[in-house]
Amino acid sequence: MAIVKRKPTNSSLRFQSFLDSKDITTTTPEKSLVKGMRKSGGRNAYGRITVRHRGGGALKKYRVVDFMRSVRDIPGKLVSIEYDPSRNVRIGLVNYENGVKRYILIPSDLKVGQTVIAGQNIEAHVGNCMPLRSIPVGFTIHNVEIRPGSGGKLARSAGTSIQLLAKDESYASLKMPSGETRMVPLDCWATIGVLGNADFKNIVWGKAGRTRNRGFRSSVRGMAMNPVDHPHGGGEGRSKSGSHPVSPWGKGCKGTRTRKRKNPLIVKRRK
């Protein structure tokens, strides 16, 4: 998928770039797989902001993606590739032979018209979903469960994949996109292939308005605040005061380790 640059007819378009959308085959989503979406503005059920710098953004509807690949042992045909405003990877509509329709994440080599299937004893082709114990060592996978039956949680963003390094009696060793190596039960399911849309990370948004349309609000530097508002605030001129960078609540950031206990399933940390 190519990066497209606009003709610089004005200053805001001079450095902007977009993703080519020639791979999208339809702009109308499947009505039965679309839900309304309420915005939280980063607030939890009590109305307190738990994620800062969120709010606004363009209106969108949520596409229900089948991360569990719940239709098992029944072949399905990929009939369309669509844009999903809630994620950076393309989704595809699969029509199964029993009449069920589901959205799945699209790996880079999957084309419209191809057949996909989820099952225990199937061939390890791109787009097929199977347990880790059935996948050959060395394959690249995505949409991996972290607990059996929980649905895919790992490697779901554009261009990402996980490499299956080894298997023992009950666990598989996976090399994560971050470089971390961790153990996952062999009964967890995963999908074969590398997710598409890898050029998403190379987009130059070009202006603040495009970021606001995505639902991100602007952030104020701690150094620009007063001491009552942030540990970095105050001082004459620009001053870091010789201290380590911290969050507004005094917790270390920019490299500070935050895990409270060691996870025995993580063999090698990403750092």
CATH assignment of the domain containing 243: 4.10.950.10
pLDDT tens column, 120-177 = 989 999 999 999 999 999 999 999 999 999 999 999 999 999 999 999 999 999 999 9
pLDDT band at 71 (very low <50, low <70, confident <90, very high): very high
Residues 6+ apart with CB under 8 A from 90: 23, 24, 81, 82, 83, 84, 105, 106, 196, 197
DSSP-derived pairing of the beta strands 129-131 and 189-192 = antiparallel
Same-domain pairing of 50 and 109: yes
* 91 bridge partner residues: 82, 105
- Give the CA count within 13 Å in the CB-facing half-sphere of 207: 9
Give this prediction's pTM: 0.90
Same-domain pairing of 108 and 237: no
Structure tokens that stand for 119 in this block: 């099952």
Same-domain pairing of 161 and 271: no
Report how many domains make up the chain.
2
Q: Which residue range is the domain that position 32 belongs to?
A: 3-201
Phi, psi of 267 (to 5 degrees): -80, -40
> Which residue matches tokens 């902001």?
49
Same-domain pairing of 124 and 252: no
In one-letter notation, the amino acid at residue 270 is R
DSSP-derived pairing of the beta strands 91-96 and 101-105 = antiparallel
Same-domain pairing of 188 and 224: no
Give the span between the Cα atoms of 37 and 59, in whole angstroms. Answer: 8
Domain presence at residue 226: yes
Give the span between the Cα atoms of 92 and 103, in whole angstroms. Answer: 5
